[in-house]
Amino acid sequence: MPGLAMRFLGHSTVRLELAGSVVLTDPVLTARVGPLRRTSPLPDRAHFADADLVLLSHLHADHLHLPSLRLLPRTVRVVAPRGAGRWLRGRGIRNVEELAPGEELEHGDLRVHGVPAAHSGHRFGPRSTHGPQAAAMGHLIEAGGNRIYAAGDTDLFPGMAGFGPLAAALLPVWGWGLSLGPGHLDPHRAAEAVGLLRPRVAVPVHWGTLAVGGLPRLPRVGARMRRLLVEPPHRFAAAVAAAGERTRVLVTEPGAAVVLDGMQPVVR
């Protein structure tokens, strides 16, 4: 895709370079997130130290991670779900703006559209009544003839069918545990999302990066956790192929560049 470079930094963190800007989605850049430990190498500082724009999809700590945000340049523009700005500024995060589904903003030659997500927007999960809350969302990032959908965390919803034409979709295919709660995509549901979105390429994210500390080393259950740190993107790719979709799935290890060679812009 001319004018676009992409690197999967782990979990839901993707570095996008397009239209002269460096965008990070949901940056998680540290060795731990609360009780979760990183199972893949830490991102190289060079891959986030020049970030211009951060897009936060929702308030959960594995997507809005305050220690990771504090590693970024103080000048970075942080775009949070509408209603979360005051809470973020109160924790020392500067240059915060808000965006909601149905709204859009410009950043240089980039245009970012807020879109819905089927996921809890509460900082502490769907059953808590305390703490900050703001609607979870995804983002459509558009520039130079490319439109990229960064889903954040979401389940399937019919509105996905209206997001195209898409050059790429960054789709979650698992999480950090032995099972998934509500508002998530597993490999097969992510493949169904491909059927709605019909992107030229799909990059599986939200896998292979975090696990509860010590869990992968436990007998029996640890073996299953180790498989879940590896298998979901490959099951996703197989499900997309079995459905006969034309989308090319780019399984990319955490930390690696996404190979986009030969892809052309698709935005009309």
This prediction has a pTM of: 0.94
d(CA 12, CA 41): 15
Band (1; pLDDT cuts 50, 70, 90): low
148 C-beta neighbours (distance < 10 Å), count: 25
- The pLDDT-based confidence of 262 (bands split at 50, 70, 90) is low
pLDDT digits (tens, 9 = 90+) for 40-99: 999 999 999 999 999 999 999 999 999 999 999 999 999 999 999 999 999 999 899 999
pLDDT at 169: 98
Spatial distance between the Cα atoms of 118 and 156, rounded to a whole number of angstroms: 7
Rounded CA gap, 135 and 24, in Å?
A: 20
- For 110-156, the pLDDT digits (tens) are 999 999 999 998 887 666 666 788 999 999 999 988 999 999 999 99
Query: What's the first-to-final CA gap in the chain, in angstroms?
Result: 14
Cα gap 33→18, rounded to integer Å: 29
pLDDT score, position 206: 98
Q: What average pLDDT does the segment 166-183 reach?
A: 96
Dist CA 173 CA 205 (whole Å):
6
Q: pLDDT averaged over the chain?
A: 94
**In whole angstroms, what is the distance from residue 192 CA to residue 159 CA?**
13
Question: Residue 132: what pLDDT?
Answer: 83
- The partner residues of 16 in beta bridges, in order of sequence, read 6, 23
- Binned at pLDDT 50, 70 and 90, residue 243 comes out as very high
Q: Which residue has the higher pLDDT, 133 or 237?
A: 237
Length of the chain: 268
Average pLDDT over residues 247-255: 98
Residues facing 21 on adjacent strands: 18
